Amino acid sequence: MQKARGGLECRQPREKPGRGLANRPPRKPVVWNLRLYVAGQASNSIRAFANLKLLCEEHLKGRYQIEVIDLRENPQLARDDQIVAIPTLVRRLPRPLRIILGDLSNSVRLLVGLDLRKID
């Protein structure tokens, strides 16, 4: 047992025979759920999608889902994620929710914003 703050004792969980880490089933990789809000075929919307697709293929190959929402066709959908500017990227999964504005052309800022790369 170890003493924790406040004098409380902490116990390490006991391993059951045959239940070690080696015997656990492999975790299923997290699928990133990304939602990109755009305005039709505007140049910055097209650029944002292209930049996002490139980044996902490079860093999340096979582990991402991009949902593109055209606010010209469905403006009421902007309320769900409180969209005030476009293009806007919303990372819904993995949690916590993250919101990134702009055409996503700054790849370092995008990586940090999505929490794929830590700040140096």
Per the domain annotation, does 88 fall within a domain? yes
Q: What integer is the mean pLDDT of 90-106?
A: 94
Pick from 16, 18, 35, 14: nearest CA to 86: 35
Residue 29, pLDDT score: 77
pTM: 0.74
Per the domain annotation, does 83 fall within a domain? yes
- Kindly indicate the confidence band of residue 98, based on its pLDDT and cuts at 50, 70 and 90: very high
Q: Which range of residues forms the domain containing residue 72?
A: 32-113
Q: What integer is the mean pLDDT of 40-68?
A: 96
Q: How many CB atoms lie under 10 A from the CB of residue 69?
A: 19
Per the domain annotation, does 2 fall within a domain? no
Q: What does pLDDT average to over the chain?
A: 84
